[in-house]
Amino acid sequence: MAFPHTPPPLQQPRPARPRPAQADPSRMPPWGWLELVVLSQTLFSALLFVPGISKARTAIRVAAYLVAPLAWFYVARRNRTPAGSDSFPARPWLIFSAVWLMLEVMHPNSHTLKSAAAQAALYIAILSPALWAPAALASRKQVGRLLAILFVCNALSTVVGIGQVFRPATFNPPDMPALKNIYGGKNLMYETDDGRVIMRPSGLTDTPGSASLAGVTAALVGLCWALRPIGFVKRMLCLGAAFLGIAVIYFTHVRMALVMLAFCLVALIGLFILQRNWRQAALLTTGGVLAFVGAFLWALRSVGSSVAERFGTLVTSDPGTLYRTNRLSFLQHAFNTLAWDSPLGAGMGWWGMTHAYFGNSSIHTDVWVEVMWQAWIQDGGIPLLIGYVGAVAIALYDSTRIALTSPDREIAYWGAVIVALNLSVLVSCFSSVLFLSPSGVQFWLLAAVLHAADYRARQSARAAMMAARASVAVP
C-alpha cells in the first residue's frame, strides 16, 4: 500500500538582517581628521611656547605639515568614497601639479636631492586636503564646526598677540630664531611714544608679525559668527575677538594684512548682497567700520603715532608706488627674468624652510623668495604656475558658485565666508608665500569640504523633489 507523499515542512523565512543605522543628518558627528588637522595647525605652533623645547623646533615644524598627509593615509585606508569625494573640480589640476613637482625633484639644478624632495613633499602635503577631505566629511554640519574651530584657534592667537604688546615678558615665546638675523631683530621692533620698544606680536607662533594673520581670520570669522543666531554672550565674545583681531594687525604694523582684511570684507558684503541677505550685509558693513575705527583709536592710544605713520601710508601714498618699493621687484624678477631664463623651473630646495632644514650649508645660495608667484616659477616653472594657479582659480569659482546657488542656506552662508577667507590667501600671493604655510592647508581643506557638503545637499534636495513628484503622481 502506497502512502501519500508527505510534503516537506514549510521553511521559516530567515529574519532579514538589520541595515546599519544611518547617521542622523540633524546630529553633529564626532570629531575626526578634519577637525584634528585644523586644530593641529595652531597646536603645533603653540608647542614652541614650552620652555626648553626650541631644540625640537625643526621636528615640530615638520610635524605640523605631516598631519595632513597622515590624515590622507588613514582616510584612504577606510576605502570609502562618499558622494562628492572625487568631484572637486580643482582635483585634476592639483594632481598634475603634484606629479610635476615629483618630476622637478630630479631637476639638474636642484640644490640637493634631499632639500628638493623636501620642497616637493611640502607642496604636496599642503595641497593634500583637496584630495582626501571630501571623503572625510561625515556631515554637512561639519562645515560650520570647522569654521568655529578655526575662529577659536585664531582668536586665542590674537589674545596672546595682544598680551605680547602689553606684557611681553609673560606672553612672548621663550626663543625666537628670527631675532638672530643680521639686524639683531631690530627690524622686527618699533618704538612707542613713551619710549618702549615693542616686538611685532607673533601670536601663538615664534615668528614676529605672524599675529596679523591670526587677526585677519579672527576678525573676519568673528564678525560672521556674530551674525548667526547664537546667544548674546557668544555674540559679544565673537565681536570682542573680531575687535582684537583688527587691533593686533595695527600692533604688528603689517599693512598687507589690513589690506587683505578690508578687501575680503568688501567681497563678503558683495556676496551677501548677491544672496539678497540685505540685513547681514548692512550689519557686517556697520560692524566692520566700527571695529576698524575703534581698534585704530585704541592702538593709537596704546603705542602712539607709529601706528598712524605706518598705516597712514595706505592713504597718503599711491598704492602702486607703495607696492613698487616693497614687493614689486620680486614679482618683476619672477615674470621678466625667471620665467624666461628657466621656463621649466630653476631647481628646487634653494630657499625657505626646506633649504634651512634640509639643505647643504656649504653650497652657497643667493635665491630669495618673497612672493608666491616667484616661488611657483622658481620651483616648477611655467607648468607649475599654470597648474597651481588654475587649481586656485577653479576652487574659488566653485566656492563662489556654491555661495550663490546652494540649496542649503547654511552651506551658502559659510560658502560666502570661505570665499572671503580664501581670497585673503590669494591676495597674499603678491606679498608672501602663504600657499606654503598653514594658510595653504586651510585653503584647500575648506574649499574641498565645502564642495562635498554642497554636492550632498544638492543630492538630498534632488531626492526630496523626486519623492514629492512621485507622491503627487500616485492617484
Domain edges within the chain: 32-47+54-136+326-349+367-464, 140-316
**How far is residue 329 from each of residues 254, 255, 322, 373, 409, measured CA to CA in Å?**
19, 18, 12, 12, 44
The x, y and z cell numbers of residue 391, run together, are: 587649481
How far from the centroid of its chain's Cα atoms is residue 428's Cα?
12
Encoded amino acid at 427, one letter: V
pLDDT of residue 474: 55
Distance CA 199, CA 187 (A): 9
The x, y and z cell numbers of residue 408, run together, are: 542649503
How much is the CA Rg of the chain, to the nearest whole Å?
A: 26
Which burial class, exposed, middle or buried, applies to 106 when counting CB atoms under 10 A from its CB (0-12, 13-18, 19+)?
exposed
**How far is residue 183 from each of residues 179, 253, 355, measured CA to CA in Å?**
8, 18, 21
Contacts 24+ apart (CB under 8 A), 99-106: 100/380, 100/383, 100/384, 100/387, 101/348, 101/379, 101/380, 101/384, 104/345, 104/348, 104/379, 104/380, 104/381, 104/384, 105/348
pLDDT of residue 94: 97
CB atoms within 10 A of CB 27: 9
Distance CA 152, CA 225 (A): 11
Distance CA 306, CA 190 (A): 8
Encoded amino acid at 77, one letter: R
How far from the centroid of its chain's Cα atoms is residue 219's Cα?
14
Contacts of 396 (CB under 8 A, 6+ apart): 419, 422, 423, 426, 447
Task: Tell me the CA end-to-end span of the chain in Å, nearest whole number.
Answer: 59
pLDDT of residue 79: 78
Nearest to 428 by CA among 289, 260, 272: 260
E-strand stretches of 157-255: 189-191, 197-199
pLDDT of residue 322: 62
Task: State which residues of the chain have pLDDT below 50.
Answer: 1-5, 7, 10-24
Residue 29 has phi, psi (to 5 degrees) of -70, 165
DSSP string, 316-336: HS-HHHHHHTTTHHHHHIIII
Distance CA 115, CA 22 (A): 47
Nearest to 238 by CA among 259, 219, 252: 219
Distance CA 395, CA 187 (A): 37
Q: Which residues of 450-466 are buried (b: 16+ CB within 10 A; e: fewer)?
A: bbbbbbbbbeeeeeeee
Residue 197 has phi, psi (to 5 degrees) of -105, 120
Which burial class, exposed, middle or buried, applies to 23 when counting CB atoms under 10 A from its CB (0-12, 13-18, 19+)?
exposed
260-287 pLDDT, tens per residue? Answer: 999 999 999 999 999 999 999 999 999 9
